[in-house]
Amino acid sequence: MPELEVPKEKIVFVSGIGCAARFPYYMETYGMHSIHGRAPAIATGLATSRPDLSVWVVTGDGDSLSIGGNHLIHALRRNVNIKILMFNNEIYGLTKGQYSPTSPLGTRTKSTPMGSLDWPFNPLSLAIGAEASFVARAIDTDRAHLTQTLRAAAAHRGSSFVEIFQNCNIYNDGAFDFVREDKENRIYLEHGKPIRFGAEGKKGVRQRTDGSVELVDVTDESELLVHNAHHVEPSAAFALSRLTQSTA
């Protein structure tokens, strides 16, 4: 936050309820530990009445996508100048391990002993569908990329949505090991560059004729999708959001 050169008295963190909701206590800024699911609504009012402030929302997958789903999508749709950080651990942690709206199909928890039947939300796809004007994903253990992502979100004028993969080592340990432990599965997007990943960039992303994307072994870089972070039409971004846990 100091790198943003915004005075700390001009920064506000608003949270709802959940493990992520204690975040404002850890920051030397103004903050509000608010009510379950309503952080985007409270932040909307604050940002609208005080446009001089840098307003951030800190929320979890349960807080934002269950009871708070309505407030989240409308804050994004309205393109309010707030920055929403969603800490996704695919579980309800504060209430001791129930399945959440992002838990994979078949997840066994205290509330789903036979496995969950609900198809989970893809947070990035949801945000894009809600017309968010800035959407990104990062992982908690990659400090450099997370810092870069948050800096870009802070600079954006309008609604920013950043999903952060975060491990819950008590109730859902290892949920994101496919990118935490295997760095070659991470796909970093750079504006204006072909999308490559893996060892020595030997894998890439290619767009199919129907608009969806697929993972390929790179033989001809000209066939790869070139990332356009500023494209007005969101279909390519939506297609990329569907690659979650599909880099094998």
CATH number of the CATH domain containing 125: 3.40.50.970
Contact between 193 and 224 (Cβ < 8 Å): no
Q: Is residue 246 in some structural domain?
A: no
Q: Count up the domains in the chain and report the number.
A: 2
Number of other residues whose CB lies within 10 A of the CB of residue 233: 8
83's enclosing H/E stretch is strand 82-88
50 and 169, same domain (yes or no): yes
What are 33-77's pLDDT values in tens digits?
999 999 999 999 999 999 999 999 999 999 999 999 999 999 999
User: Per residue in 155-183, is it b (16+ CB within 10 Å) or e — as a string?
Assistant: eeeebbbbbbbbbbeebbeebbebbbeee
Classified as helix, coil or strand, 159 is: coil
176 and 69, same domain (yes or no): yes
Q: Is residue 248 in some structural domain?
A: no
Instruction: With cut-offs at 50, 70 and 90, classify the pLDDT of residue 245.
Output: low
86 and 103, same domain (yes or no): yes
146 and 224, same domain (yes or no): no
Instruction: Please tell me the pTM assigned to this model.
Output: 0.94
Q: Is residue 247 in some structural domain?
A: no
137 and 37, same domain (yes or no): yes
175 and 208, same domain (yes or no): no
198 and 83, same domain (yes or no): no
Q: What is the pLDDT of residue 246?
A: 52
Classified as helix, coil or strand, 156 is: coil
Q: Is residue 115 in some structural domain?
A: yes
Pick from 180, 203, 227: which residue ends a domain?
180
Distance of CA 64 to the CA centre of its chain: 11
Q: Which residue range forms the structural domain that includes residue 90?
A: 2-180
Q: What is the pLDDT of residue 39?
A: 98
87 and 192, same domain (yes or no): no
